[in-house]
Amino acid sequence: MDRCPQVMINVAVAAPKTVNGNSEVSGAVTEVERSLGDGGRVLIRPSGTEPLVRVMVEGRDETAIRNHAERLASVVADALG
């Protein structure tokens, strides 16, 4: 198993469960996954206990994954704010 840096950002939103069907968020995730290729992964999920959406990005380049995670967090906040 290769260890990769991981960045997690919690985004406060009113209705976290709506993240799963949001086209803006899924489009942004697709772009990031395409950028990462086989060198990383993205996970966006609603918290089960808090009004949050958890944005996690893993990859080889910590600066790049931080930028991707911050961009996705911004998209989630804008789309579900």
C-alpha dist (Å) from residue 51 to 13, 55, 62, 64: 6, 13, 27, 27
The CATH number of 6-80 is: 3.30.310.50
For residue 4, pLDDT over 90 is answered with no
The confidence band for 81, taking pLDDT boundaries of 50, 70 and 90, is confident
Q: Can you give the pLDDT at residue 5? A: 95
DSSP per-residue string spanning 10-26:
EEE-S-GGGGGG-HHHH
Cα–Cα distance between 21 and 39 in angstroms, integer? 26
Q: Please, are residues 59 and 32 in contact by the beta-carbon 8 Å criterion?
A: no
Total-model pTM? 0.93
